[in-house]
Amino acid sequence: SYVLTQPPSVSVAPGKTARITCGGNNIGSNDVHWYQQRPGQAPVLVIYYDSDRPSGIPERFSGSRSGNMATLTIDRVEAGDEADYYCQVWDSSSDHGAFGGGTKLTVL
Partner 1 sequence: QVQLQESGPGLVKPSETLSLTCTVSGVSISSYYWSWIRQPPGKGLEWIAYISYSGRTNYNPSLKSRVTISVDTSKNQFSLKLNSVTVADTAVYFCARVGTPLDFDYWGQGTLVTVSS
- Contact residues for partner 1 (CB under 8 A)? 1, 31, 33, 35, 37, 41-45, 48-49, 52, 54, 86, 88, 90, 94-102
d(CA 75, CA 73): 6
Q: Which is nearer to partner 1, 3 or 13 (CB)?
A: 3
Q: How far is the CB of 15 from partner 1 (least distance, A)?
A: 28
> CA separation (Å) from 19 to 2, 40, 90, 92, 97?
22, 23, 22, 26, 23
Q: How far is the CB of 83 from partner 1 (least distance, A)?
A: 13
d(CA 88, CA 33): 5
Q: How far is the CB of 13 from partner 1 (least distance, A)?
A: 26
